[in-house]
Amino acid sequence: MHIKVGDTVQVRSGDGRGEQSKVLSVDHKAGKAVVEGINRVYKHMRRSQRNPQGGRLSKEMPVQLSVVMLVCPSCGKASRTGARRAKDGGKERFCKKCGAGTGTIAPPPNKSDKK
């Protein structure tokens, strides 16, 4: 999964289709992400010490990672991503439309570890 916290993504299906927004959190085990302003629901809260007002609170719920697509920072289009080796030996994400790198996945290996 090539989606990280802070990435800009575009929603591919559902009520928020076509909207671009920022990823707030990612649960790789469940395959879900919380995207800012997408999949908002009302949570009915009782009055308490923590929430003295009570009432209906609006919050974002997670969406499947298959529903969102990374927006490339260089070309500005939603595209699939791939993984490749960088020149320094680490792994990086890249946009499959324009070929630009969009961030590192794994750091380069240490030369001292091979001994």
> Which CATH number goes with the domain that contains 4?
2.30.30.30
Q: How confident is the model over 97-106, as pLDDT tens digits?
A: 988 888 888 8
Range of the domain at 66: 1-46+56-71
For residue 51, tell me if it sits in a domain.
Answer: no
Q: How confident is the model over 43-86, as pLDDT tens digits?
A: 999 999 988 888 998 999 999 999 999 999 999 999 999 999 98
Check whether residue 12 and residue 66 sit in a common domain: yes
CB crowding 49-77: b at 16 or more within 10 Å, else e = eeeeeeeeeeebebbebebbbbbbeeeee
Check whether residue 41 and residue 81 sit in a common domain: no
Task: Name the pTM for this structure.
Answer: 0.79
For residue 1, tell me if it sits in a domain.
Answer: yes
Check whether residue 67 and residue 84 sit in a common domain: no
Q: How confident is the model over 77-86, as pLDDT tens digits?
A: 999 999 999 8
Check whether residue 65 and residue 28 sit in a common domain: yes
